[in-house]
Chain A
Amino acid sequence: MLPLIENIKFCKISTQIQDMLAVSPLLRTEDRCNLDGQLVNWYSNLPWLLRTTDPCAEPLYIARCIMKWRYQNLRMLLHRPVLLSLASSTAGLGGGSSMLAHGHVAEQDLAAIETCRELAKQTIEDIAREWTRNQMSGWNAVWFLYQAAMIPLVSVFWQWDSPRVPEWHKQVETILDLLEAMEDWSLAARRSREVVWRMYEASRQQPTAAQQQQALQSPLLHGMGGGVTGAEHAGILMAADGELRMSPIGLELEGAGMMGMLDQHGLWDMDGMFWSGSSAGADGAGSPGDSQTAQHAPPGSVDFGAFNVNDQMMQMDYGMISPQAAAAMDGGFFVH
């Protein structure tokens, strides 16, 4: 019962955070700090039984691990939009490090980014050490690792000129190894790994002058102008003249396209990855013009359609991006 009691306290804070983020993903600094403070406070007040790493019965072990991972994840989610916003708004203006070096970034934003990075690093280390071979552990482990992976990946793309790139790459490599080890213990492990791997591969290429040029033309910087069509949401994230390469998840993975990652709006959340599995269907090699069959499941994912899952409820249309997400992609949205 103790886990539930503490989870309730945590979830009350989390609900508050969710409602604030539902209004605007970029909170004011004081709000962000206040909420972060509540979370830190909650964690430091956990009963000893839930904080200790002493051996214990399995239910308790799994409960306290996941509680901790979830706590770190939520803190990270609080600060992550700052990183994304800064990265997006400075895309194409030279490597992100020069931006930071010239003092263009507010002190508190720098702090938020560093906190975010520290949390991601901690999460990876903790999960590596603590996950166990069963699907309750694996399922959560994969989800939180996937969330954490975005931090070093965005960092590498944004600050490709930073001396910390090798460190960030190492983190991603650790994640890749972990995801591979978790395949038996999580349905999503293989798929998540594939996505992270592609981004990782892309991140290892130095941005070319052409890509920097493309970034400048990215609709993100100019707000949602006429370049956006309703038909394919991925178009919003792609440079106007960029080569369109349809990945299984329908989003461009090269250079400038990474700036469009907006986790808060479900594009990159775990569930979002699988939506296109039934609607887009095409393998990575296809161009947008290829006909896409609904039944074809991307490699590595499970097509439950074959199992005649009993759905008495109406299927939601996963192909459409939610209106609020589309609105939030306006480049001007992130500018404060």
Chain B
Amino acid sequence: MESPLCASVSEQGLSGLEQMPGRDIEWDEERRGRDPIPIEADDVNALSLSVDRPSSYLGASSIKAALMCMLKVQPSLRTQLTTPLNTAEVAQNFPIRQQRASPKDSQRIPWSWKGQTLIDAYFKRVHIFIPMLDEAAFRADYLEGQRFDSPWLALLNMVFAMGSIVGMKSDDYNHVNYYNRAMEHLPMDAFGSSHIETVQALAIIGGFYLHYINRPNMANAVLGAATRMASALGLHRESLAQSTTDIVAAETRRRTWWSLFCLDTWATTTLGRPSFGRFGPAISIRPPEFGINQVSLSPFPRILLRHLRRLALQGVHSSPHSPSPFSLFPSQYPPVANRPPPLLGP
């Protein structure tokens, strides 16, 4: 670019316009069934003018970017924007597709030995290929049995399905039941979901399960859709990963993206079709780093995690005679100084 503005245009300034969707946000299109949002408005086209709600990932060429820029330059604009638009008052008679009733309390899945066995099988034989789940958090959620949100139910059932496959012989068809239950929570609308669990569930379905039951074209389509959903969440952007202090979430997102990438690659090796952009210059998210792997993310306080990360990058080798690099840590954490790097796990 030879424009005279080149000198003053900084990547810094522009990247400030990128926003990482938070953990509990919902896209406007998801809320649509419940909240009165005008038909023509959503967060992507910014017609809903929801300046404070984080949106799906949108780059510098989006309306949102222009809006954020204006707000930065002219903060007073904010107050003017909070007044509802006139057109927002118009009641819509747009026939909406019948929304499924949101999951009820009664759909909670209580802990069981059977479920535990399936989950163990999953983490033994599937997770190593697609380590996108935060194992400790996932296991804890299952143990508590309190969640009943659709994304979770879909994901849990797919973990059950895969656990069932890798834990049983080929003539056991229980996996179909789990798959069917997962699909009840994944109507077509689910492609508009902002929840990472939905993406993860679809990754398992499109990357593994549908291939297992010989639906390769459906698998291919589902995985393609999941990849696009991931990009709506900004999973492919390193800048977003860096911008957050929630290391656990960032690591989960990073691993989810790369798991999707690998699944898509493996599944399409013999299809002879183009790769449709799963890899390219715009995919700036870096691969996961060596060292932050089998360490369970949830129970560790952030500061401890950062310390471990620093040590791993420095390539610290412990020997019986050198002071343990972990001697600074509280004694409740298992001493790891004389064990091999935390790669293998149980």
- A contact residues vs B (CB 8 Å cutoff): 1-5, 7-9, 11-12, 14-15, 18-19, 21-22, 25, 49, 56-60, 62-63, 66, 70, 73-74, 77, 134-136, 138-139, 147, 183-189, 263-266, 269, 271, 274, 277, 302, 304, 307-313, 315-316, 318, 324-325
Q: Which of B131, B166, B289, B343 meets A136, CB within 8 Å?
A: B166
Give 15 CB contacts A-B under 8 Å.
Answer: A1-B131, A1-B292, A4-B287, A5-B288, A11-B262, A18-B274, A21-B272, A25-B272, A57-B344, A59-B127, A59-B128, A60-B343, A309-B179, A310-B183, A316-B218
Residue tally, chain B, CB below 8 Å to A: 63
Q: How far is the CB of A8 from chain B (nearest CB, A)?
A: 5
In the A-B complex, list the 8 residue pairs whose CB atoms are closest, starting with the nearest.
A1-B293, A271-B216, A11-B265, A316-B217, A59-B128, A274-B214, A310-B183, A310-B180
Which one of B128, B255, B273, B290 has the highest number of Cβ atoms from chain A below 10 Å of its Cβ?
A: B128
Q: Which of A7, A19, A57 meets B262, CB within 8 Å?
A: A7
Assuming the contacts A138-B170, A324-B272, asked whether A15 and B188 have C-beta atoms less than 8 A apart, the reply is no
A187 to B165, CA, bound (A): 10
A15 adjacent to B294 (CB under 8 Å): no
Smallest CB gap from B342: residue in A:
A1
Smallest CB gap from A308: residue in B:
B180
Q: How far is the CB of B177 from chain A (nearest CB, A)?
A: 8
B166 adjacent to A313 (CB under 8 Å): no
Smallest CB gap from B127: residue in A:
A59
B272 adjacent to A265 (CB under 8 Å): yes
Q: How far is the CB of B215 from chain A (nearest CB, A)?
A: 8
Which residues on the B side are within 8 Å of A184 (C-beta)?
169-171
A185 to B289, CA, bound (A): 34
Which one of B186, B287, B291 has the highest number of Cβ atoms from chain A below 10 Å of its Cβ?
A: B287
Assuming the contacts A11-B265, A18-B275, A313-B218, asked whether A59 and B170 have C-beta atoms less than 8 A apart, the reply is no
Which residues on the B side are within 8 Å of A264 (C-beta)?
270, 272
Smallest CB gap from A274: residue in B:
B214
Q: How far is the CB of B131 from chain A (nearest CB, A)?
A: 6
Which residues on the A side are within 8 Å of B212 (C-beta)?
139, 187
A21 to B186, CA, bound (A): 34
Smallest CB gap from A132: residue in B:
B125
Per-position binary interface string of chain B over residues 280-299, scored 1 when its CB falls under 8 Å from any chain A CB and 0 otherwise: 00000001111111100000
Which one of B130, B170, B288 has the highest number of Cβ atoms from chain A below 10 Å of its Cβ?
A: B170
Majority-rule SS of A interface residues: helix
Majority-rule SS of B interface residues: loop
A56 adjacent to B279 (CB under 8 Å): no
A277 to B213, CA, bound (A): 12
A187 to B278, CA, bound (A): 29
B176 adjacent to A58 (CB under 8 Å): no
Q: Does B147 contact A (CB under 8 A)?
A: no
6 further A-B pairs in the complex, CB-CB below 8 A; given A2-B343, A8-B287, A184-B169: A1-B290, A1-B294, A63-B129, A134-B166, A136-B166, A184-B170
| Interface hits, B149-194 → A, CB 8 Å | 165-171, 173, 176, 179-180, 183-184, 186-188
Q: Which of B128, B217, B275, B294 meets A19, CB within 8 Å?
A: B275
Which residues on the A side are within 8 Å of B166 (C-beta)?
134-136
Q: Does B13 contact A (CB under 8 A)?
A: no
Q: Does B346 contact A (CB under 8 A)?
A: yes
Which one of A271, A274, A316 has the highest number of Cβ atoms from chain B below 10 Å of its Cβ?
A: A271
| Interface hits, B118-136 → A, CB 8 Å | 123-131
Smallest CB gap from A271: residue in B:
B216
Q: How far is the CB of A322 from chain B (nearest CB, A)?
A: 8
Q: How far is the CB of A19 from chain B (nearest CB, A)?
A: 5
Smallest CB gap from B287: residue in A:
A8
Q: How far is the CB of A187 from chain B (nearest CB, A)?
A: 5
Q: How far is the CB of B249 from chain A (nearest CB, A)?
A: 17
